[in-house]
Amino acid sequence: MKNGFKILIIILLLNIVFNNYTIVYGNTNNVYVIYSDLELKKNDELRIVINVEDANYYNSCIINIDIKDDFSLVNSVPCELLLNSYFDEEEIYVNELTNNNIRFVAFKNKSNTTTTFNNLVQITLKANSNIKDVISYFDSINITLQDKSNNTIVPTINYSEGMKVEWDKESYIVELNEKLPDFLSDIVIYNREEDEYTIKLIVDDINTSVVSNKIVSVYIYDYVNSSQLYISKTISIVDNIRPIIKGNSVIEINDVDLTKDSIFNYTTSDNYDDVLTSYITYYNQEQKEVKDLDAFVKYLSSNTIGYLKIIVEDSSKNKSEELVQTIKIIDTTSPVVSYNKEIEIEDRLLDSFNILDYIKAVDQYDTNPLIVFNEDINLVEYLKEHISIELTFNSKDCFNNKTDDYIISISIIDTVIPTIDKLNDLSLKDVHFGSFEEYLSKCFKVVDNYPNYVINYKYMSTQEVNFEDFKKYLFSNNTGNIIINVEDSSNNISNDIEIVVKVEDTTPPVVSINNIEEGKKYLTISSVDYVIKDNFTSSIDTKIYLDGNEYKGNTINQLGVHTIRIVCTDESNNTTNFEVNFEIIKNNLIGCGTDLDCYSDNYMDVIYIALILFFSTVFIVIVRVAVKRSKTRNLKH
């Protein structure tokens, strides 16, 4: 660091020599050295603040201070940067203490924007001995500045004691809705006249109707040494008024209405908070604390007396007085019954069956409420002959609180596994497929002790499919398998059997032509519009012939009688030959002869127009004849 400083000084001197830089002396280039105290005792701390007038005028700064043996550094680095320092950390090139000499060199980055900050550095020292006059002690402070034109400036150094400001208040506490204090009246400046400084209060928008913490700051500008000072204090808007809690000393609750919410019956209010925090302690009848609300409600479900102790707290930690409430439960309920609504028991365990093992009745005060059945039967003997039964019962406690009637169902579990035997596979023609289930049922036989069983079918192609897909598979492959088993009402499942199903396709395709009818006459046929349907498959081999030759789909307009023949063959070689005969006639009325359908198909529009013209002519003739006769009669008369 020492060698680096020497190199830096040499560079600065060479710049001055080779670039013809001038050294400027003047009283307008003021530097202010401000001491926190002018007289020190041993171990006192001394703060030295160095400010420059019109800081934006300068480009660099070199400071040398000899502290001798009477001072030692407080911080790890000699010169500190304050919040209003003109330089930043990246612009410091030398900041060291060597042989009791403090050296500080900084160059302003030319890309930095203009700033109003004028502090160069602050130095904090500890006195190793008593110092009578601080200003005369530091007689060798050397400060060199360089302006933005690289002119070296030896400024005028002004020594002074720093402003003595006292703001005794550590912080401010203001009650809700009270007036804010006069902050400036609490600030005392001892060593300046009123015209030697400016003081300004910087206060955030403080609403005393809201609990909050704010910052109050004071900005002071010292004209004596061109220094700026910021002091901040906290101000707290606080609420010190206790919330209020009210409620009856005894709360009566019917046991049927007992819930977590029903035990709380009190009101609260506060001068500030709408929502308060409640602290509730629960106690049993012996005044022993109960763990929590769930345990307290559980305790009250079988005991009639309990206690609550309640305190509420607002957001400012103000607590109300304690409210003590007695919770009194009024017993109005019948016993609580729990039971198996549906009981299933294996037939082999009937001799040891006891219905009371499946019913439990509890009551708040009766430890053994009664179970009463409406039916008077020997239950075990009945179930040996019947697979199920429904019983009606109720319960009542020693205070004659009686329950409603309950119904319990008992079913016997059948332990006998059903059996299924294959009789034969299934072969049927497609025309019989509508009766598939009837034919399939004759292929196996089921045996079980109870008739309440279900037959399960698995329809297999290359994998398990539904019945519709199985049907399609049969129609395309002619064969498939069905895996069958039987499951009774007690979930006993039989062995599997496999039935092979073969379906014979005996139905040929069905052919229809939409635009040609047998024996009819046409002027022309643009193409043959036909439809082919088959019960098994859509893959049909189809050939069309016109007058014995293969039809290519061209327009048929050659005069004379023609025959269209369609030959269809399905995958089972069922073949359909469909023929239709028709005639192509010349485009005139005579061609239809006496065939009225021919006229309808080919010439109806022409016929309609001809009829209209004919009847119109007849009408005109009749009218003219009538007029002529009328004139003749008039002449005779």
> Per-residue pLDDT averaged across 199-219, rounded?
88
Query: Are 2-161 and 336-413 the same fold in CATH?
Result: yes
CATH 2.60.40.10 fits 165-238, yes or no: yes
Report the C-alpha gap between 497 and 458 in whole angstroms. 10
- Please give the CATH architecture assigned to the domain spanning 244-330: Sandwich (2.60)
> Per-residue pLDDT averaged across 286-312, rounded?
93
Q: How far is CA 549 from CA 512, 554, 558, 563, 578, in A?
A: 20, 12, 14, 10, 15
Q: What does the pLDDT read at residue 433? A: 80
Identify any residues that bridge with 484 across adjacent strands, giving them in sequence order: 457, 497
Confidence bin at 170 (pLDDT 50/70/90): confident
The strand ranges marked E within 294-402 are 305-313, 323-330, 336-339, 342-346, 359-362, 370-373, 388-396
Q: With 80 as the cut, is the pLDDT of residue 340 above it?
A: yes
Residue 437: DSSP 8-state: H
CATH 2.60.40 fits 419-504, yes or no: yes
Q: Is the overall model pTM greater than 0.75, yes or no? A: no
More confident residue, 161 or 93: 93
- Please give the CATH architecture assigned to the domain spanning 2-161: Sandwich (2.60)
Q: With 50 as the cut, is the pLDDT of residue 618 above it?
A: yes
Per CATH, which fold does 510-601 belong to? Answer: Immunoglobulin-like (2.60.40)
- Give me 357's structure tokens: 């093992």
Residues 6+ apart with CB under 8 A from 469: 459, 461
Q: What does the pLDDT read at residue 3? A: 44
Q: What would the pLDDT profile of 225-245 be if each residue is shown by its tens digit?
A: 777 788 888 999 999 999 999
> Per-residue pLDDT averaged across 574-586, rounded?
92
Q: What does the pLDDT read at residue 603? A: 65
Q: With 70 as the cut, is the pLDDT of residue 635 above it?
A: no
CATH 3.30.1300.10 fits 336-413, yes or no: no
Residue 169 and residue 232 in contact, taking contact as beta carbons nearer than 8 Å: no
Q: Is 608 helix (H, G, I), strand (E, B) or coil?
A: helix
Q: What would the pLDDT profile of 184-197 be if each residue is shown by its tens digit?
A: 999 999 888 989 99
Give the Cβ contact number of residue 204 at 10 Å: 11
Q: What does the pLDDT read at residue 26? A: 41
Residue 320 and residue 244 in contact, taking contact as beta carbons nearer than 8 Å: yes
Closest CA to 230 of 216, 242, 221, 219: 219
Q: What is the SS3 string spanning 203-237? A: ECCCCCCCCEEEEEEEEEEECCCCEEEEEEEEEEE
Identify any residues that bridge with 568 across adjacent strands, giving them in sequence order: 542, 576
Q: With 90 as the cut, is the pLDDT of residue 20 above it?
A: no
Distance of CA 338 to the CA centre of its chain: 40
Q: How many helices (H) and strands (E) would you count in the chain?
A: 8, 43
More confident residue, 112 or 84: 84
Q: What does the pLDDT read at residue 593? A: 66
Confidence bin at 606 (pLDDT 50/70/90): low
Confidence bin at 605 (pLDDT 50/70/90): low
Write down the domain spans for the chain: 2-161, 165-238, 244-330, 336-413, 419-504, 510-601, 604-637
R_g of the chain, CA atoms, integer Å: 58
